Amino acid sequence: MDLKATPPIPPYQVLGLALLLPGVGHVVQGQPQRGLMFLFFTVLLGWVTLHLTGAEHSVIGRYAGGIFVYGVSVLDAYKLARISATAWARRTASPAPVTLPPLAPP
């Protein structure tokens, strides 16, 4: 497969997908293990903070660990998409023509 032939998914689309569900932004970029890891730790830390906090805390406070990992997942997916798009643009860009200055007479 020619890497120059297929452009990566635009970063803002990856950002939108990552906001829908943790890990989906990574999966659509071809990194399903990373996406599933983020999904697992979002659920795990949400569950842990739910059981460590009391009833007097808000919903955000009860799931703070999961919300934190979710935010990191979204930022990471967007960052990887930006890096991928920039690398693809540099690979496919045509090099600038080299022009030499005219030779001075001797």
In a domain, 92, yes or no: no
In a domain, 103, yes or no: no
User: What's the confidence (pLDDT) of residue 47?
Assistant: 94
In a domain, 97, yes or no: no
User: What's the confidence (pLDDT) of residue 9?
Assistant: 92
Supply 84's token pair. Answer: 């991928």
Residue-number span of the structural domain to which 18 is assigned: 11-85
Instruction: Give me the tens of pLDDT residue by residue for the chain, a chain 106 residues long.
Output: 455 568 899 999 999 999 998 899 999 999 999 999 999 999 999 999 999 988 888 888 999 999 999 999 999 999 999 999 999 988 887 777 777 777 777 6
| 26 close to 77: Cβ distance less than 8 angstroms | yes
User: What's the confidence (pLDDT) of residue 4?
Assistant: 56
Number of structural domains in the chain: 1
Rounded-to-integer distance, Cα 81 and Cα 60, Å: 28
Q: What is the DSSP letter of 9?
A: P
